[in-house]
Amino acid sequence: MITIIARFKIKEGKIKLAKEKLSELANASKFDKGCVSYQLFEDVGDKKVLVFIESWNTIEEQTAHMDTPHIKIFNDIASDIILDEPTVTILKPI
């Protein structure tokens, strides 16, 4: 199993839209093959930072997830709401 932490800095004035679109993405992703968990969080210290924590059975299934229609739809609007490239950390249990 792998866990991914993806941290997004949201553009000023786009928080509501970002929460809506990232929630839609999380809800669709939960049905992808190999998805164990896919949750969206808000940083309590900085409301302009949203974080996905996702767990997958394998890295291959997570990689396949990146080619799904819901990821492609999000990627089309990401530059309108995301300030910088997300910070992504991939973890595995030890």
The torsion of the CA quartet 42, 44, 45, 49, rounded to 10 degrees, works out to 0
Contact between residue 53 and residue 5 where contact means Cβ atoms under 8 Å apart: yes
Single pTM value for the model: 0.89
Residue 92 lies in a domain: no
* Whole-number pLDDT of residue 65: 93
Residue 45 lies in a domain: yes
Residue 34 lies in a domain: yes
Please report how many Cα atoms fall inside a 13 Å half-sphere around the Cα of residue 91, on the Cβ side: 10
Our count of domains for the chain comes to 1
* Whole-number pLDDT of residue 8: 95
Residue 80 lies in a domain: yes
Average pLDDT over residues 53-77: 93
CATH of the domain at 8: 3.30.70.100
Residue 93 lies in a domain: no
Residue 91 lies in a domain: no
Phi, psi of 77 (to 5 degrees): -110, -5
Residue 53 lies in a domain: yes
pLDDT digits (tens, 9 = 90+) for 13-60: 999 999 999 999 999 999 999 999 999 999 999 999 999 999 999 999
Residue 51 lies in a domain: yes
Range of the domain at 6: 2-86
Average pLDDT over residues 74-89: 92
* Whole-number pLDDT of residue 35: 97
